[in-house]
């Protein structure tokens, strides 16, 4: 039986009175641990933990050397997850990601084709520089990310649970790259940008990771079962009508043609966020609520995850891009206007 199926039966059992307190404590401990390893990237760590427990995937964008791979390794180590890494190159084939059938000879002499899973069959998959893979290889990840299964030779293979894809891409050196299509971008719950750390963080980084790789020595504070349990608990977080309305308004505000959209969105946005963004906002906000020690969602939870959820789900007008406007600046004004209403 699958590990996830053992941990989460179809009808979840009522959580104990201390379930929320325990989940809150575990999330806080995890964040504190990662903050010690990944110096000066507190917001990035919070969003990454949120995405993992919300069952989403994360696209991380940042310059080389900012610790993206290090972050993925530390997260896997802290949660005790089985992780794999795929370094994308233009000659990477889909089978290199999903797996392939090989001709194998059994001990008795019988030879058969058997499926050998690829690196995607891990609980935490680090897809490094995903935009350097060809669209064919990128699309191989689509089914895995959305359906959590891989179909090969007519046979579907379930991916392990929890399952999370951390993809990274470099915003520079775009020659020879294949930008991700919108359909695949929409599969990522968050798109996180890794900022350059400040001076104090750089100084602290020397004390932490000059002579050793802290991620290699991390002791897990939780296991996959804990991840699944907390993820299930997060789905029971209460969501009031006011927050539902606010979430809907947030997504509508990004639509250039919808009634009630933001004026900045009408001026600069060509395509707004999808309904999947609405689901992502709610799921992430629920984890944020548990992380804040609440069993109900607040408007602040929605606002905290609005930007990473929406920034890769909108398309700007060409003239706005030529004017130097980016998605973050546009969404910042949209979110500000939305936040003032609540």
Partner 1 sequence: MIDNSNVESLQIAVRRRLWRGQFVAATRLGLWGSAAFMLLGMAMHLTTRPVGVDTVLFAIAALWTAMMAWAAMRRPSDPACALWADRHLGGESAFGTLLEMRDGAPNTPALQWLEQWATARVPHSLQLLTARRESARLSRPLLSLLVCTALATIVLTLPGTAPSAPQTLATPSPPSVAGNLTPDSELASKQLASALASALRSAESRRASDRRDNGQTPAAGPGKDDASRDSRMAQAGAASKGDRTTLGESLPDTTDAASSAPATSQESGAGSGRDAGDSRDDRADAGVSRVPRSTIQVQRRKSNERRPSLERQADANQLATFDDDLPTRRTATEREPSALAAATPPPASGATSLTPTKAAYVQAWMNASRQRR
Binding of partner 1 by 239 (CB under 8 A): yes
Residue pair 215/267 in contact by the 8 Å Cβ criterion: no
Alpha-carbon span 217 to 236, nearest angstrom: 34
Q: Which is nearer to partner 1, 20 or 338 (CB)?
A: 20
Rg from Cα positions in the chain = 21
Q: Mark the segment that binds partner 1 (CB under 8 A) among 42-50, 200-208, 236-244, 268-276.
A: 236-244
Binding of partner 1 by 241 (CB under 8 A): yes
Residue list 262-301, contact with partner 1 (CB under 8 A): 292-300
Smallest CA-to-CA distance from 34 within 21, 48, 20, 54 is with 48
Q: Mark the segment that binds partner 1 (CB under 8 A) among 110-118, 138-146, 178-186, 235-243.
A: 235-243
In whole angstroms, how close is the CB of 193 to partner 1 at the nearest point? 27
In whole angstroms, how close is the CB of 289 to partner 1 at the nearest point? 9
String of DSSP letters for 279-325 = HHHHHHHHHHHHHTT-SB--HHHHHHHHHHHHTTS-EE-HHHHHTT-
Alpha-carbon span 327 to 176, nearest angstrom: 24
Peptide bond into 207 cis (omega under 30): no
Binding of partner 1 by 7 (CB under 8 A): no
Q: Mark the segment that binds partner 1 (CB under 8 A) among 8-16, 30-38, 69-77, 213-221.
A: 8-16
Binding of partner 1 by 306 (CB under 8 A): no
* H helices, E strands: number in the chain: 15, 11
Binding of partner 1 by 261 (CB under 8 A): no
In whole angstroms, how close is the CB of 238 to partner 1 at the nearest point? 5
Q: Mark the segment that binds partner 1 (CB under 8 A) among 80-88, 149-157, 216-224, 241-249.
A: 241-249
Q: Which is nearer to partner 1, 9 or 154 (CB)?
A: 9
Q: Which is nearer to partner 1, 15 or 248 (CB)?
A: 15
- Site for partner 1 (CB under 8 A): how many residues? 24
Q: Which is nearer to partner 1, 92 or 289 (CB)?
A: 289
Residue list 42-71, contact with partner 1 (CB under 8 A): none
Binds partner 1 (CB under 8 A): choice among 25, 136, 203, 242? 242
Binds partner 1 (CB under 8 A): choice among 42, 90, 171, 240? 240
Binding of partner 1 by 230 (CB under 8 A): no
Which residues in 256-280 are b (16+ Cβ under 10 Å) and which e?
Answer: beeeebbebbeebbeebbbeebbbb
Q: Is 271 helix (H, G, I), strand (E, B) or coil?
A: strand
Binds partner 1 (CB under 8 A): choice among 1, 10, 16, 107? 16
Binds partner 1 (CB under 8 A): choice among 238, 260, 323, 341? 238
Q: Which is nearer to partner 1, 239 or 248 (CB)?
A: 239
Residue pair 100/89 in contact by the 8 Å Cβ criterion: no
Binding of partner 1 by 243 (CB under 8 A): yes
Smallest CA-to-CA distance from 37 within 232, 208, 289, 281 is with 208
Q: What is the DSSP letter of 13?
A: P
Q: How many residues does the chain have?
A: 342
Binds partner 1 (CB under 8 A): choice among 4, 7, 19, 284? 19
Q: Which residue has the tokens 């997504």?
A: 251
CA distances from 172 to 62, 84, 175, 181 (A): 9, 25, 9, 18
Which residues in 232-245 are b (16+ Cβ under 10 Å) and which e?
Answer: bbbeebebeeebee
Residues that bind partner 1 (CB under 8 A): 14-17, 19-21, 236-243, 292-300
């Amino acid at each position: 039986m699958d590990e996830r199926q053992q941990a989460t039966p179809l009808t979840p059992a009522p959580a104990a009175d201390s379930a929320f307190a325990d989940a809150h404590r575990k999330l806080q401990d995890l964040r504190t641990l990662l903050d010690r390893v990944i110096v000066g990237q507190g917001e990035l760590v919070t969003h990454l933990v949120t995405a993992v427990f919300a069952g989403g995937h994360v696209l991380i964008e940042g310059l080389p050397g900012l610790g993206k791979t290090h972050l993925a390794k530390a997260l896997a180590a802290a949660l005790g997850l089985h992780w794999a890494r795929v370094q994308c190159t233009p000659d990477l084939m889909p089978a290199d990601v999903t797996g392939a059938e090989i001709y194998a000879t059994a001990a008795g002499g019988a030879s058969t084709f058997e499926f050998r899973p690829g690196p995607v069959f891990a609980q935490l998959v680090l897809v490094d520089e995903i935009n350097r893979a060809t669209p064919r290889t990128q699309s191989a990840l689509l089914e895995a990310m959305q359906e959590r299964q891989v179909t090969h030779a007519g046979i579907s293979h379930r991916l392990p649970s929890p399952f999370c894809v951390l993809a990274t891409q470099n915003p520079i050196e775009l020659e020879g790259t294949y930008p991700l299509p919108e359909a695949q971008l929409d599969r990522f719950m968050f798109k996180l940008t890794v900022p350059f750390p400040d001076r104090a963080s750089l100084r602290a980084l020397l004390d932490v990771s000059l002579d050793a790789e802290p991620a290699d020595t991390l002791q897990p504070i939780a296991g996959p079962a804990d991840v699944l349990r907390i993820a299930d608990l997060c789905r029971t977080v209460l969501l009031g009508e006011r927050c539902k309305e606010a979430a809907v308004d947030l997504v509508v505000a990004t639509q250039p043609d919808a009634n009630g959209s933001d004026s900045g969105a009408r001026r600069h946005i060509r395509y707004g966020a999808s309904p999947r963004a609405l689901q992502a906002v709610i799921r992430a906000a629920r984890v944020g609520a548990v992380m804040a020690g609440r069993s109900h969602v607040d408007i602040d939870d929605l606002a905290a995850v609005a930007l990473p959820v929406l920034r890769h789900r909108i398309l700007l007008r060409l003239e706005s891009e030529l004017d130097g406007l980016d998605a973050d600046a546009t969404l910042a004004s949209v979110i500000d206007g939305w936040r003032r209403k609540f």
